Amino acid sequence: MEDRQAPGQALVVGGSIAGLSCAHALIAAGWDVRVIEKSLSPPSSSPTGAGLSLDPQAREIVSSWLSDPTILHDTSLPLDIELLQLVDGKKDKQIVARDDNFNYRCFHWTDLHSLLYKALPPDTVLWDHHFLSLSISENKASVRIKVKIPHSTDEMKEFSGDLLIAADGSMSLIRRHFLPDHKLRYSGYSAWRGVYDFSEDISLDTIDSIRSAYPELGKCLYFDMVYGNHCVLFELINKRLNWIWYFDTPEPDIKGRSVTMKVNHKMIEKMHTDAERVWSSEMALLMRKTKEPFINVIYDSDPLPQLFWENVVLVGDAAHPTTPHCSRSTNMSVLDAEVLGLCLKKWGEGNLGMALQEYQSIRFPVISRQVLHSRHAGRLKQGLPLQDNTVFNPKEASKEEAAGILHKSLPFFYRAPVSMDQ
């Protein structure tokens, strides 16, 4: 079906994992790609980036983009087990549900981003380029964007391409261009996050105590649940522990376009005090020893009415802002990129509309169900009222009800379609 002489020209706005994934997938499909990213340079460390996990299908796709697929294994740790437990009285723990065949692997955000970035051709990503606006040509054949380069001379530039890919996150400016009235939905809770580097812990008291309380660290994704709170814990490569504490709170007043909230010393000290009241002494100590914890405000979005307009398409969190409870954000972004690349390769630049329609037809049913399921799982774990006004009670839940909050209850958990034939 391909009918083009020169490669298609794609612009990707957003150089996070979703944007870099699209660059890989489109290059594999024979397109020329330019990624526009507002950060000054590739991140060598990330104070607001923490742990993430990839499912087997996403790992298979990412491996296909790397010259040495084994490096994906070497920069991650296994999550063979998913374990949910009820914490009662700060000491007693009751297993609510367990999956011994989880088969995910966990990464630090910066490590995965670095792998994807270094595997791209040089100069694919333009750093310190801030997207400002877009316009589609009258004949719908091309799209033009304006950008600003603030850290040089405030220079303004324009770029044009056959296709614009919006990978600019949950507060996407490109999505707002087409859906100005669309609002994100606040979940009712936010999350403290942190990565504890125990390579710097000379005494090792903290790591010894946490390993005693969580003996399967290094291969297990732990969920601790207390009324109105739940906490995630897993180990990362290079002697790091990733933790996330979800807590009920009114919607904060966040500034700008980031869901990461700035915190101060007073807020951190209150978090430490609250942790000693809510969690075990081992978990509270871990949180206290973690440098530079931060807050993510948890939003998602009802499924969008569509994923593309003419020659502009949404991917990643721009297409499907989601809560993090089913490890979907990164995994969905990788699948978005792969499906988009396959559709573009199948139809060719001359049939861009058909390619984008097929991308939407494949991805929309999957992401819609996964976003809503993740929302439901978060409310179960956080003890918030469900649609029927009931509240999940882990003490009284049957085995079937408890299994419903494991990752494997997610629609398309084992494999999502990448073509219309699946």
Q: What does the pLDDT read at residue 258?
A: 78
DSSP H helical ranges for 179-220: 205-213
Helix 56-65 vs helix 17-28: angle between axes, to the nearest 10 degrees? 60
* pLDDT digits (tens), the chain, 422 positions: 444 467 999 999 999 999 999 999 999 999 999 999 999 998 876 555 689 999 999 999 999 999 998 999 999 999 999 999 999 766 678 999 999 999 999 999 999 999 999 999 999 999 999 999 999 999 999 999 999 998 767 789 999 999 999 999 999 999 999 999 999 999 999 999 999 998 877 677 888 899 999 999 999 999 999 988 999 999 999 999 999 999 999 998 877 667 888 899 999 999 999 999 999 999 999 999 999 999 999 999 999 999 999 999 999 999 999 999 999 999 999 999 999 999 999 999 889 999 999 999 999 999 999 999 999 999 999 999 988 888 998 888 888 889 999 999 999 999 999 998 87
Tell me the percentage of the chain whose pLDDT exceeds 90. 80
Q: What does the pLDDT read at residue 5?
A: 60
Domain chopping of the chain, boundaries: 9-71+111-183+304-409, 80-110+185-300
Whose tokens are 């298979």? That residue is: 60
Q: What does the pLDDT read at residue 91?
A: 65
Which residue in 115, 119, 121, 158 sits closest to 33, CA to CA? 121
Helix (H) or strand (E) holding 379: helix 352-382
Length of the chain: 422
Q: What does the pLDDT read at residue 397?
A: 87
314, 308 in Cβ contact below 8 A?
yes
Q: What does the pLDDT read at residue 3?
A: 47
Residue at 355: amino acid letter: A
CATH number of the domain at 9-71+111-183+304-409, please?
A: 3.50.50.60
Whose tokens are 């969690």? That residue is: 279
132, 103 in Cβ contact below 8 A?
no
pTM over 0.75, yes/no: yes
Structure tokens given for 170? 């949950």
Helix (H, G, I), strand (E, B), or coil: what is residue 126? strand
Q: What does the pLDDT read at residue 345?
A: 96
Helix (H, G, I), strand (E, B), or coil: what is residue 230? strand
Which residue in 173, 184, 188 sits closest to 302, CA to CA? 184
Would 9-71+111-183+304-409 and 80-110+185-300 be classified into the same CATH topology?
no
Separation CA 194–CA 49 (nearest Å): 9
Other C-beta atoms lying within 10 Å of the C-beta of residue 11: 25
127, 42 in Cβ contact below 8 A?
yes
340, 420 in Cβ contact below 8 A?
no
- CATH-assigned architecture of domain 80-110+185-300: 2-Layer Sandwich (3.30)
Q: What does the pLDDT read at residue 396?
A: 87
